[in-house]
Structure 1
Amino acid sequence: MTAQLDEALLRSLTPGVLGILVRRGADFAAAEDAVQDALIEAIRVWPADPPRDPKGWLVTVAWRKFLDATRAEAARRRREDVLDEEPEPGQAAAVDDTLQLYFLCAHPSLSSSSAVALTLRAVGGLTTRQIAQAYLVPEATMAQRISRAKRTVSGVRFDQPGDVATVLRVLYLVFNEGYSGDVDLAAEAIRLTRQLAAAIDHPEVAGLLALMLLHHARRATRTAPDGGLVPLAEQDRGRWDTALIAEGVEILQAALARDRLGEYQAQAAIAALHADAPTAGETDWVQIVAWYDELVRLTGSPIVRLNRAVAVGEADGPRAGLAALAELDDSLPRHTAVAAYLHERDGDLATAARLYAEAAHQAPHLAERDYLTRQAARLNTRRH
């Protein structure tokens, strides 16, 4: 096996191994540390001597690491029964605890950032260093965050029912981080959501997976060679990943057929309509507005209403879009940028240029700031 194959296999086995240790009676924090130690040992040993039963090997080594750590602490009398006998690796292999791990790592007592970090480590099998690099924070900072999260959930019973919506929100946060460091978090989020979809039959899990696939299909066209943003209407649709789009649409159609609509299914339906349009001019904006109406009904989100205003401007004209925008708080993120776009569509170039410049000052990211600055400059050049 190659080193790359080893890493992919290790990460896919991580939640099952951790679940076995916890079900045997190991404290979650101690079990997670033992699994990480076993993963490090596997990276060292497997390239030269790959095991016939990778999961059994990891369970055996992780359990021994846990026992060694536990025996080293004299105050562990409450685990004496656990230490009396070392079970065989396959004893708990028939139980798949992956779903419970998702619920545990997305526990409502955790902050969003802690839940994301713990999910990536315990379910995703990433190292603390990899997670820290992906989130552009020092490794020591991420280690403290993960340690606090593990302590928080250590007292939670492993068989308690979890909240699917919280798990999906955590995975959605991971996906939206995209790529930085040596870990592609968008791809990792898709992998974990596929894993979740295999463990639970839920239309919103399918909806989120479809949404991720449809967005990811456009990834290669979102930025120019110089790193600048390329808006959806200007992307080269011939470079979109048609296989991912087809898979996303198929998953979405199966979820919608169950008639249990949720926000991720509605978002995926909007993404599918964009993906289905051969050109930007052929986009079915009327249907997109209808799906935004469903999203507003489901979420009441001001951001959804802001995006709906853009869609209304495309479907019914810029003045209708501006009227929808006027109903919203102008302090919303991207409100000024949307107003600039709609004023430009309406032919008011002076107002649009001024608003693009204002939006550039408000933009949280350099690429977005550069794009909006170029838009303002373009309109100012046209006016003179």
Structure 2
Amino acid sequence: MSGRAGRVRRRSGWPGCWPGLLPGEPETGGLLALMLLHHARRPARTSGDGTLVPLEEQDRTLWNRAEIEEGLLVLETALARRAAGPYQVQAAIAACHATAAEPAATDWPQIAVLYGRLATLLPSPVVELNRAVAVAMADGPAAGLALVDRLAATGALGDYHLLHATRADLLRRLQRRDEAATAYRRALGLAPAEAERRYLARRLAEVTRAGA
């Protein structure tokens, strides 16, 4: 265990996932980095009344900077082994978000590339949906919507609320409000968590008022 890695281990609150327990497995470090980087944003994910706050609207001053720094150090150590697996790629995506001082500074083209890499390592419709979001942010909502519609046509995520929520958001950004409202209603009917339902209901109300 290196000196710097040891310092990260002692500060970290995730002893069960420390990569020093499996020194030949850089993916263990990737998992720890992913957990740290995601957990660092936890305080900003919901509002005072429990409503979901999307990433682009989160108060970044609430993010835990110490956990972000630890996550970045662990990720750097794992990537230095040059054997990147799915956890490391996901941690790299989380790092792109965590290091952006504001939403506009997010490196969406890089995130889209990373999701493309993840899709080769861990093929799944959910990964493709996330890649579509990244493409939408990098190249515009129309480009992302084309990917989402292609994915929806397969039927693989027909009952997955985030497919319909993503499609609704892209339609909203394209000012196609009636279609967005229909997609928001579909997502609202499938969403399992109250925080998500509150967020979707708010968005539905917005596009409905704007359409009227």
Query: Could you state the TM-score of these two structures normalised by the residue count of structure 1?
Result: 0.49
Aligned partners of 2:177 and 2:207 also within 8 Å: yes
Shift in Å at residue 252 of structure 1?
0.6
Aligned partners of 2:33 and 2:72 also within 8 Å: yes
- 2:195 paired residue number: 367
String of CA shifts for 1:293-341, please: whole Å, max 9, x gaps.
1100001111000110011001011111011112213451211111001
In 2, the alpha carbon distance for the partners of 1:331 and 1:321 equals 17
- 2:172 paired residue number: 344
Aligned partners of 1:262 and 1:298 also within 8 Å: yes
- 1:279 paired residue number: 102
Q: Given the superposition, is the C-alpha separation of residues 330 and 220 from structure 1 closer, same or farther in structure 2, using an over 3 Å criterion? A: same
Q: What pairs up with 1:152-167 in 2 under 5 angstroms?
A: none
Aligned residue pairs total 195
Q: Which has the larger radius of gyration?
A: 1
The alignment-based identity, stated in percent, is: 48
Q: Given the superposition, is the C-alpha separation of residues 230 and 236 from structure 1 closer, same or farther in structure 2, using an over 3 Å criterion? A: same
In 1, the alpha carbon distance for the partners of 2:167 and 2:184 equals 9
Shift in Å at residue 219 of structure 1?
0.6
Query: Could you state the TM-score of these two structures normalised by the residue count of structure 2?
Result: 0.88
Q: Which amino acid aligns with 1:363?
A: A
Q: Confirm or deny that 1:245 pairs with 2:73.
A: no
Shift in Å at residue 249 of structure 1?
0.7
Q: Confirm or deny that 1:193 pairs with 2:17.
A: yes
In 2, the alpha carbon distance for the partners of 1:199 and 1:262 equals 18
Q: Which amino acid aligns with 2:200?
A: L
Shift in Å at residue 227 of structure 1?
0.9
Aligned partners of 1:330 and 1:336 also within 8 Å: no
**Cα RMSD for the two superposed structures:** 1.4
Q: Confirm or deny that 1:219 pairs with 2:42.
A: yes
In 1, the alpha carbon distance for the partners of 2:82 and 2:100 equals 25
String of CA shifts for 1:221-258, please: whole Å, max 9, x gaps.
01111111111011000111111101101111111121
In 2, the alpha carbon distance for the partners of 1:243 and 1:297 equals 32
Stretch moving more, 357-366 or 213-222:
357-366
Q: Per the alignment, in what secondary structure is the counterpart of residue 81 of structure 2?
A: coil
String of CA shifts for 1:33-63, please: whole Å, max 9, x gaps.
xxxxxxxxxxxxxxxxxxxxxxxxxxxxxxx
- 1:376 paired residue number: 204
In 1, the alpha carbon distance for the partners of 2:31 and 2:117 equals 16
Q: Which amino acid aligns with 1:340?
A: A
In 2, the alpha carbon distance for the partners of 1:251 and 1:352 equals 40
Q: What pairs up with 1:1-384 in 2 under 5 angstroms?
A: 190-194=14-18, 197-201=19-23, 202-328=25-151, 329-332=154-157, 333=160, 334-384=162-212
Shift in Å at residue 282 of structure 1?
1.3
Aligned partners of 1:273 and 1:283 also within 8 Å: yes
Structure 1, gaps ≥5 residues long:
1-186
Q: Which amino acid aligns with 1:234?
A: E
String of CA shifts for 1:100-139, please: whole Å, max 9, x gaps.
xxxxxxxxxxxxxxxxxxxxxxxxxxxxxxxxxxxxxxxx
String of CA shifts for 1:167-186, please: whole Å, max 9, x gaps.
xxxxxxxxxxxxxxxxxxxx
Aligned partners of 1:309 and 1:324 also within 8 Å: yes
4+ long deviations beyond 3 Å: none
Q: Per the alignment, in what secondary structure is the counterpart of residue 327 of structure 1?
A: helix
In 2, the alpha carbon distance for the partners of 1:191 and 1:227 equals 30
Structure 2, gaps ≥5 residues long:
1-11
Q: Which amino acid aligns with 2:96?
A: L
